[in-house]
Amino acid sequence: MSANQDYIRDYMSEPVIDARSAALVIIDMQYATGSRQGALGRTLKAQGSSVGDYRFARIEGTVLPSILRLRAHFQQIGQPVLHVTLGAALPDASDAPRHMRKLLASCANHVGSREHEILDELKPVAGEHVLRKTTVGAFASTPIDSLLRSLRVDQLYMVGVSTNMCVETTAREAADRGYQVTLVEDACGTTFEELHQVTMRNFQRLFGRVASTDQAVAELQEAT
């Protein structure tokens, strides 16, 4: 082992790719926080803030095109596509955990609102699954675990926003439940580049894998 090599890598299992056991999990690609036209984008613009510029530019230029490509590939190979949304049932978000209420209510992210909707480019189609969560991680407030097991899926390719929040938390939850998880780096985004990079570096230390869209498509194609 070199002086700069991370010792934890020695304890990670080698992945075995099986396209027949794979699913694409798309997280929180909604208008509330996933589009500059949504509530978060409008609020930041009204405040004269540029803090969201990186986030929305990455979503538009990198994340969304990558997700669309991955989704098309999963459709082609006949494997499940899951959309996970974040949002309350009630406008005041009183049905959500305490730490989530202000964010959801401020963004009008509740069932029936435009903000809660998935981006038009990614609208679910027949055969795709949609699960609504009120928590950061999907396993805490949706039946995603039982759905995946019913679908005979144990290899997850996770994409969406925000990298260091809902994507990472759901990915960690999945890893702890025995799923082989791959974060698709160029199909994830958040508000600060350093948060994205640190999340990717930390996740692949022990929880799972990090791959590009090119790598994910190629390995799934080979394993089909």
pLDDT digits (tens, 9 = 90+) for 80-102: 999 999 999 999 999 999 999 99
Where are the alpha helices (H) located in the chain, listed in sequence order?
Answer: 31-34, 39-46, 53-58, 64-77, 101-106, 144-150, 168-176, 193-206, 213-222
Rounded to 5°, angle at Cα 199 from 193 and 202: 140
Query: According to the model, what pLDDT value does residue 2 have?
Result: 64
CA distance linking residue 162 with residue 28, whole number of Å = 8
Which residues are within 8 A (CB) of 198 and not within 5 positions of it... i.e. 6 or more apart? Answer: 164
Which segments of the chain have a pLDDT < 50? Answer: none
pLDDT the model gives residue 120 = 98
pLDDT at 152: 98
Helix axes 168-176, 193-206, angle to 10 degrees: 10
In whole numbers, what is the pLDDT of the chain averaged over residues? 96
Residue 135 confidence (pLDDT): 98
Domains, the chain, ordered by start = 18-222 (3.40.50.850)
At residue 1, the pLDDT reads 55
**pLDDT at site 3:** 65
